[in-house]
Amino acid sequence: MLQPPRRPTRARLQTLFLRHFERSGCLADAAAATGVTARTIQRWREASPAFARRYRAVLESRVDLLEDLAMRRACGTDRRPVFHRGKQVATVERHNDLMLMRVLARFDRLRRRAAVVPSVEAEVERRVAARLSQLSSERRQEGT
């Protein structure tokens, strides 16, 4: 268990919170272990871009960890013995197909979202370039 800082400054409390949050993955538990409220964490995120970046990094690492665990559970098998008259006669393997379908659906959504972002960025860049060329032609016309 992490010890609270002797002199609890904001930076030390933020660091302690992030360490608790990284271990537990639960904002409420990490805030309680640090001795602050969840609303305080929200205010820190709004007030400090550096803390917000570190918070997002911890959150992303937790999401990656959960995705890895979900994938392991989805691809893993559950082996159960089958008994007949007190003797084991077989072993049945069960796969978690529902979990696998959910994990694959999430990856599909992420792939679709990643494909949309570049097309939106390209459209924005095209519009900005068109607007800049329009402004430069208007300036040329005003100058003549």
Give 7-46 pLDDT, tens digit per residue.
888 899 999 999 999 888 888 999 999 999 999 999 999 9
Question: Does residue 86 fall inside a structural domain?
Answer: no
Q: What CA–CA distance (Å, rounded) separates 122 from 117?
A: 9
Task: Tell me if 109 is assigned to some domain.
Answer: no
Distance CA 34, CA 51 (A): 15
Greatest CA separation for the chain: 102
The residue range of the domain holding 27 is 9-75
Global pTM reads 0.53
Structure tokens of 65? Answer: 């960890």
- Structure tokens belonging to residue 18: 């992030």
Instruction: Give pLDDT, residue 1.
Output: 57
Element (H, E) at 38: helix 38-47
pLDDT (tens digit, 9 = 90+) per residue, 111-122?
A: 787 777 667 677
The answer as to whether 106 is a domain residue is: no
Domain count, the chain: 1
In a domain, 17, yes or no: yes
Residue 30 lies inside a defined structural domain of this protein: yes
61: tokens are 């690492």
